[in-house]
Amino acid sequence: MKQKTEPIRQELLRYLDAEHIHSDCSMKQYTTMRVGGPAALLLTPGSAAELFGALEVIEANGIPCVIMGNGSNLIFDDEGFDGVVVQIGRGLDHVRIEGNIVFVEAGALLTTVARAASESGLTGMEFACGIPGSVGGAVYMNGGAYGGEMSQIVHSVSSISRTGIMKDRPGSELGFSYRKSIFQENGETILGVKLLLAQGDPRMIQEKTRDYTQRRTTRQPLQFPSSGSFFRRPAGHFAGGLIEEAGLKGLSCGGARVSELHAGFIINTGEAKASDIVDLMRIIQETVLFRTGVLLEPEVRIVSKDGSSQHFDQKDGS
């Protein structure tokens, strides 16, 4: 694989420091589920200039590419990925607060931004205090919890198209719906986000944050690698409730298991493979569909060796 990627690597060195270009890099350490084979190339740009250069090379060469943040909603195939993964993280994670506006680069962790907002007496982002993703990933997925979601606080988003055109859109033009945004369709890379929060009572903000944190620590299997809630919430139901009612709590496939604490979580008990997780996902889907007529749709993106993602129709099976 090194011979195939070496010409691309040499081209990337025009724009990126060598330490930001990684060949045959295992994706286990870069995803919260801790599974997956090696990516042909992993790029970790440390600045906007490096990111722009990387995207230019990728587009010019027609290379399969996956853009990722903290890897909380990605699972790579056990055989790896024959393309380039671009991780937007350290170096592209600056946060600046002016009044009730928070300017955030896409690589900043949600937990970091939520804490900074809380310390500045700003309310509206408490729901994100324990979500393990990046801001860019959260906007991409319209992530949320406890009745809050990114669409409620996003003022505008800056992005770059595949052809290198910079765009800036207000939140009203981002096609937000449940776990959806326009970025899942247009192929653009999120660069920065402007959040509009409100001044609040610091004591109430801290109390709400403590409440959400306690709920997570007592009701979610945080001691195991996972992707958080694995399935989208089907209309009129909760995925975890349907899975539990189907008697699937504790069910295992290899090292993957349905959490006994929260049936909406698939966990890695230590030695899981990506194939174990996919097999378990299929069993859950088939069982719940047979029992209830509801097809559970994963929130997690499963990336195959050639870069294609598994897609699922959001519908019920009745």
Q: Which domains does the chain have, with CATH numbers?
A: 2-87 (3.30.43.10), 95-203 (3.30.465.10), 221-303 (3.90.78.10)
CA angle 238, 243, 248 (to 5 degrees): 165
Task: Read off the pLDDT band of 313 (50, 70, 90).
Answer: very low
Tell me if 224 sits within 8 A of 266, measured CB to CB: no
Question: What pLDDT is stored for residue 310 in this prediction?
Answer: 57
Count of CB atoms situated within 10 Å of the CB of 4: 10
All residues at 6 or more sequence positions from 169 whose CB lies less than 8 Å from its CB, including other chains: 156, 157, 159, 182
Q: What is the pLDDT of residue 262?
A: 95
> Is 172 tagged catalytic?
no
- Mean pLDDT along residues 58-68: 93
pTM, full prediction: 0.90
Mean pLDDT, residues 199-208: 93
Which is catalytic among the residues 158, 226, 229, 259? 229
Distance of CA 174 to the CA centre of its chain: 17
Mean pLDDT score of the chain? 92
Task: Spell out the residues 6+ positions from residue 16 whose beta carbon is closer than 8 angstroms to its own.
Answer: 43, 45, 50, 53, 54
318 burial type by CB count under 10 A (0-12 exposed, 13-18 middle, 19+ buried): exposed
The pLDDT tens digits of the residues spanning 72-108 come to 999 999 999 999 999 999 999 999 999 999 999 999 9
**Which is the catalytic residue, given 34, 105, 299, 301?**
299
Q: What is the rounded distance in angstroms from the CA atom of residue 16 to the CA atom of residue 41?
A: 13
**What pLDDT, in 10s, does the model give residues 6-20?**
889 999 999 999 999
Beta-carbon contacts of 60 under 8 Å, excluding residues fewer than 6 positions away, are none
- Is 9 among the catalytic positions? no
**For residue 213, how many other CB atoms are within 10 A of its CB?**
13
Answer whether 13's CB lies under 8 Å from 19's CB: no
Percent share of the chain, pLDDT over 90: 87
Active site residue 90: no
The one-letter amino acid at 314: Q
Of 29, 50, 38, 31, the residue nearest 2 (C-alpha): 38
Q: Which of 9, 34, 179, 301 is catalytic?
A: 179
Could you say which DSSP state residue 109 is in? B
